[in-house]
């Protein structure tokens, strides 16, 4: 493709825009896959008294802009209210504290590592 010297900046900017769109689409695809994997991991590793809390984990799209894409992994209603109490522990009614059941932090760390690894290999 021959480009005149006067049109060089336009051609470079066009190619950079095309690359940016391709990278954005790939980031969106990879982040959706990682969010799905994280929700499945939380389904398996969450505490299971009745099973409702563990089954409530899902994911969705957060903020999406031209240069930013966010996926959110969360517990659905009404179980979302238990996430902090189970992860951090809480005060009991009659005194004392419950033991923290750390299950969200390891899933988050695994998701961050997996997202970084996948983006490095695909881009």
Whether the link from the prior residue into 107 is cis, omega within 30° of 0, is no
What digits encode the pLDDT tens for the residues 66-93?
778 899 999 999 999 999 999 999 999 9
pTM here? 0.84
In this structure, what token pair is assigned to residue 43? 């389904």
Work out the number of other CB atoms within 10 angstroms of the CB of residue 56: 20
Contact 44, 104 (CB under 8 A): no
What digits encode the pLDDT tens for the residues 2-30?
888 888 999 999 999 999 889 988 999 99
Domains of the chain, residue spans: 5-122
Quote the CA–CA distance of 111 and 58 in Å, as a whole number: 14
110 vs 66, residue with greater confidence: 110
Q: Which long-range contacts (CB under 8 A, 24 or more apart) does 50-56 make?
A: 52/79, 53/79, 53/82, 53/86, 56/80
């Amino acid at each position: 493709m021959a480009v005149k010297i006067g049109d060089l900046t336009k051609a470079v900017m066009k190619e950079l825009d095309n690359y940016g769109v391709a990278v954005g689409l790939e980031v969106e695809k990879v982040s959706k896959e990682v969010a799905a994997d994280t929700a499945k991991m939380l389904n398996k590793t969450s505490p299971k008294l009745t099973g409702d809390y563990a089954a409530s984990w899902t994911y969705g799209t957060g903020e999406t802009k031209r240069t930013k894409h966010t996926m959110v992994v969360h517990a659905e209603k009404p179980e979302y209210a238990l996430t902090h109490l189970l992860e951090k522990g809480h005060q009991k009614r009659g005194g004392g504290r419950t033991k923290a059941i750390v299950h969200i932090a390891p899933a988050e760390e695994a998701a961050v590592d997996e997202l970084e690894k996948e983006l490095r290999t695909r881009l």
